[in-house]
Chains A and B, each alone.
Chain A
Amino acid sequence: MSVLVDEETRVVVQGITGGEGKFHAGQMIEYGTNVVAGAVPGKGGQEVHGVPVYDTVDEAVREENADASVIFVPPAFAGDAIFEALDTDLDLAVAITEGIPTQDMARVNKRLSETDTRLIGPNCPGIITPGEAKLGILPGNIFAEGDVGLVSRSGTLTYQVVDNLTNRGIGQTTAIGIGGDPIIGTDFVDALSAFEDDPDTKAIVMCGEIGGEDEEEAARYIDEHVDTPVVGFIAGRTAPPGKRMGHAGAIVSGSGTGTAESKIEALNDAGVSVGDTPEEVADSVEDLL
């Protein structure tokens, strides 16, 4: 029923005393997530929502046996916060923060390759296994338990597509928002591989957008390694070439790769049906199940 997180996952929230950290830690707990600790330098000894706060992630892991972290730390300090998480042998770190400098993420990426920790994000909504646990900012009420694995580069687009699915009674095994930044931890291929290995995931929805070549790479991977049926969606078909639409990932190079057309074509070639609208995505999934 789940990929990467479940009701057993023991979560430490980095930045739990900040505005967003506090609000969303509360939402996570309300959803049933096993939040066991907070970590904020200088705030050790406090409690937030009845959860003990430690000065370091290391201490939180030692004292509370945490195995996953969710990071709500402002961009200037978020790179350092991810390093801290990666230094404690956690299984999973989820970085919600938007606007981390790319060079900080390049250094994080290097360290990541030297550890066994899985990073999701940054600039992402997080991960949710409906009915069990959510790590991040996803609105829990729109998700439902079911058979569909979902992976998306865009947070709010994830919500939209999930809403279309749930409204017609199609639930999800797990939904992963991988984030739209140029350098991220878990990518489409990692998520597709995790869903392919999960016997409960009967279909996969993959939401991409213009910019970069991650979708093209995912299409090659699907062609060779994925037997579970995949339905795709690509945002940004109407984006004018050369204009920057929001985050840095969404740049149309104009050179033929990274465009909506090239992504849709690559996915179609790999046997993926790509919907024109979120409703069409839900239609295709309904047909598959």
Chain B
Amino acid sequence: MKLHEYQAKQVFADAGIPTPDSQLASDVDGVLEAAGDVGYPVAIKAQVQVGGRGKAGGIELVENDEEAREAADRILGMDLKGIRVERVLVEEAVDFTNELYVGVTMDRGEGKPVAMVSTKGGVNIEEVAAEDPDAIAREHVDPSFGMHPYQARKAVFDAGVDRSVATDVASVLSTLYDLWDARDGADAEINPLMVTADDEVVAADAVMNIDEDALFRQPEIAEMGEEAAAGDDLEAKADEYGFDYVRLDGSVGIIGNGAGLVMTTLDLVDYYGGSPANFLDVGGGAKAERIANALDMVFSDDNVDSVVFNIFGGITRGDEVAKGINEALEQFDEIPKPVVVRLAGTNWEEGMEILNEELVTVEQTLEDAVQRSVEYAEEVDA
């Protein structure tokens, strides 16, 4: 779960990382008031969860009320890569001499946290990592001890950070690691960490991604997440139901259990000449109600012309799945879209006995089920 910049900055500031003065605003008057409080020049920054905001026109530097009004007019309500800008952060403009990058993430290959520092801040750090990997100093951390202060210093000196600010940067990195650790971070980044003319460091941006599996022990962050949620209505509905769901642009709705099997079903729909409308993983051990919710989700997508259910039970039981499908479909006088079901694995025979075959098409193999669902979708298109 990704926090908005203003939320991440608040979390960083509370932990003692220097951040610029800033205020959130949602209309032009609010921007002018905030700018007056913070003092010109200010940066007006769109608060939406997309990369490359600056390039897309979502960040402007302004010197006075007139410029602020114009910029606020432009940015508030604009469409930034598909998301409407509802709020901006009005922030003190930092007069900097240098831009650094500091970050903490999990190195899945090593199975360990890694802290990173680079003097090539202020740019797309993924590009730096791809083109000039040596420009980023990396320090792996033993998660059972946390980051030792010497490791933060080592990373900072290895990166070639100027001695005049090295201690301050090391302190920011240490604090960032501790935050990442305490808050169950997935990624925590400051890019850029600006160095001012009088050798102070300031976090001019803030990224905080939280491990969703750990939200149960991060109640304050989870609360922020409710505010951060944005985007597609269907995806919001999927969040509510707790599904892993991705909307795609095809016509065959796909429901299955387990990410690998659902992805394979998508690949097979494509292989047999159809196009997937979505990825929907009901997860492990789904009960009848969850299955019914999944059908509701997929029926809610107007692009869907047919639905294929691919359930291979392990921890999930075929009879529960069948019950859910029946319950969901029996509410309709007429089934909105043809549904093809393939059940295998745990309790599949019990499931097949329960399944109301007047409501669905049953196929024994994955290949047959996918081909049938593609045919149904083609019939609608024809």
A247 and B262 CA atoms in complex are apart in Å by 12
Interface residue B230 (Cβ < 8 Å from any Cβ of A): no
- Of the candidate stretches B157-165, B197-205, B296-304, B310-318, the one touching chain A is B310-318
B112, B130, B264, B279: which contacts A157 (Cβ < 8 A)? B264
A103, A109, A209: which contacts B263 (Cβ < 8 A)? A209
Of the A-B pairs whose beta carbons lie under 8 Å apart in the complex, a sample of 18, sorted by A's number, is A76-B216, A106-B106, A106-B143, A125-B314, A139-B345, A142-B345, A154-B259, A156-B345, A159-B261, A180-B260, A235-B260, A236-B266, A238-B263, A239-B263, A245-B279, A249-B108, A250-B259, A250-B260
Interfacial chain B residues near A155, Cβ < 8 Å: 258, 260-261, 284, 314
Q: Which A residue's beta carbon lies closest to that of B217? A: A76
Interface residue A41 (Cβ < 8 Å from any Cβ of B): no
Tally inter-chain residue pairs, CB-CB below 8 A: 169
Q: Of residues 256 to 294 in B, which have CB atoms within 8 Å of A's CB atoms?
A: 256-264, 266-271, 276, 279, 281, 283-285
A209 and B111 CA atoms in complex are apart in Å by 19
Interfacial chain A residues near B344, Cβ < 8 Å: 142, 159-160, 163
Contact A24 B184 (CB under 8 A): no
A138, A183, A213: which contacts B314 (Cβ < 8 A)? A138
Interface residue B181 (Cβ < 8 Å from any Cβ of A): yes
Once A76-B217, A163-B344 are accepted as A-B contacts, the answer to whether A238 and B284 lie under 8 Å apart by CB is: no
A24 and B186 CA atoms in complex are apart in Å by 32
Interface size class of A (residues with CB under 8 A): 35 or more
Contact A213 B109 (CB under 8 A): yes
Once A20-B285, A106-B112 are accepted as A-B contacts, the answer to whether A245 and B246 lie under 8 Å apart by CB is: yes
B111, B142, B260, B269: which contacts A156 (Cβ < 8 A)? B260
With most chain B CB atoms within 10 A of its CB, the pick from A96, A207, A237, A246 is: A246
Q: Which B residue's beta carbon lies closest to that of A217? A: B109
Contact B314 A238 (CB under 8 A): no
Interface string of B179-219 (1 = CB under 8 A from A): 00100101000000000000000000000000101101100
Interfacial chain B residues near A163, Cβ < 8 Å: 312, 344
Interface size class of B (residues with CB under 8 A): 35 or more
Interface residue B366 (Cβ < 8 Å from any Cβ of A): yes
B144, B181, B263, B314: which contacts A137 (Cβ < 8 A)? B314
A100, A103, A138, A180: which contacts B259 (Cβ < 8 A)? A180
Contact B314 A106 (CB under 8 A): no
Once A139-B346, A183-B108 are accepted as A-B contacts, the answer to whether A160 and B263 lie under 8 Å apart by CB is: no
Interface residue A182 (Cβ < 8 Å from any Cβ of B): yes
Interface residue A44 (Cβ < 8 Å from any Cβ of B): no
A159 and B256 CA atoms in complex are apart in Å by 13
A182 and B114 CA atoms in complex are apart in Å by 14
A20, A160, A248: which contacts B312 (Cβ < 8 A)? A160
Q: Which B residue's beta carbon lies closest to that of A72? A: B315
Contact B366 A156 (CB under 8 A): no
A213 and B107 CA atoms in complex are apart in Å by 11
A207 and B312 CA atoms in complex are apart in Å by 16
Determine how close the nearest CB of chain B comes to the CB of A143; give it in whole angstroms. Answer: 11
Interfacial chain A residues near B244, Cβ < 8 Å: 244-247
Q: Which B residue's beta carbon lies closest to that of A279? A: B367
A283 and B113 CA atoms in complex are apart in Å by 42
Contact A152 B315 (CB under 8 A): no
Interfacial chain B residues near A111, Cβ < 8 Å: 144
Interface residue B123 (Cβ < 8 Å from any Cβ of A): no
Q: Which B residue's beta carbon lies closest to that of A142? A: B345
